[in-house]
Every structure is written in C-alpha cells, then in structure tokens.
C-alpha cells in the first residue's frame, strides 16, 4: 500500500524542497505547489500513489485576494485531508478552515512531525 501524500503549498521553493525531503525520509509521499491555484492541479487519486491526507499551507501563500475561495476548493478536492496553516509569528493568523495552526519560528523536523501526526503516522 502506498504511503499517504502530503501537499505542501509554499511559495518559497527551498523551504518546500527541504520539507519534502524530510517527509520522504520519514516514509511519506510529499508533493509541492507554489500557490493555492497550483495546488488545485494535484489529483486526489493518482496511480501507485496514496491519497492526499494532509495539506500544509504557508501563510505566505494567502496573498491572493481570492485565497478563501481557493482554500475551500482545495478542501473540496481533498475532503479527507487535514489542513494545517504555517502562520507568521505576527500578526495573528487569519481565520480559516484550519485543522491546526503552526506558528513560526518552527524547525523542519517539527513541521514533519506535525504532518506525520496529521496523517496518523
């Protein structure tokens, strides 16, 4: 059985790549997208891959004025996925359909642990 997939929505490529590597080392399948719109292209079901079970959204990806529309569309596309927000330290995170909020500063290992927990591993 393939491992569950984690979708990382982070505009910055290097942090996204680093977290993907950490998650893959932990036995999860991670896929990245630079924006919420790009994340909508991730298929809910792909041959030989597990389902998307967690979505990490970096607060920096919420710059689009329509982000609430996109996040609800993303939740509808992956209805069984838990959605975690990686929030800035200040100001308070925006209200949204978050299952959990992680506040910066946070280490890559802590993010990976939170995502493993979100998918039940």
Residue 106, classified by CB atoms within 10 Å of its CB into exposed (0-12), middle (13-18) or buried (19+), is middle
Domains defined along the chain, listed by start: 5-118 (3.40.50.2300)
At 34-60, the pLDDT tens digits run 999 999 999 998 999 999 999 999 999
The pTM assigned to this predicted structure is 0.96
**pLDDT (mean) for 22-32:** 96
Whether 9 contacts 40, CB under 8 Å: no
Sequential DSSP letters for 88-112: -SSSPPPP-S-SEEEESS--HHHHH
Return the DSSP state at 3: P
Whether 29 contacts 6, CB under 8 Å: yes
């Amino acid at each position: 059985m393939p491992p569950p997939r984690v979708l990382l929505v982070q505009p910055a490529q290097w942090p996204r790549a680093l977290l993907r590597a950490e998650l893959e080392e932990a036995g999860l399948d991670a896929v990245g997208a630079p924006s919420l719109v790009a994340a909508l292209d991730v298929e809910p079901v792909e041959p030989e891959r597990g389902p998307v079970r967690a979505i990490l959204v970096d607060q920096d990806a919420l710059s689009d004025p329509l982000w609430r529309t996109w996040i609800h569309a993303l939740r509808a596309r992956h209805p069984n996925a838990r959605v975690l927000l990686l929030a800035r330290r200040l100001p308070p995170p925006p209200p949204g359909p978050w299952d959990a909020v992680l506040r910066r500063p946070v280490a890559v290992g802590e993010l990976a642990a939170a995502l493993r927990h979100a998918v039940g591993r």
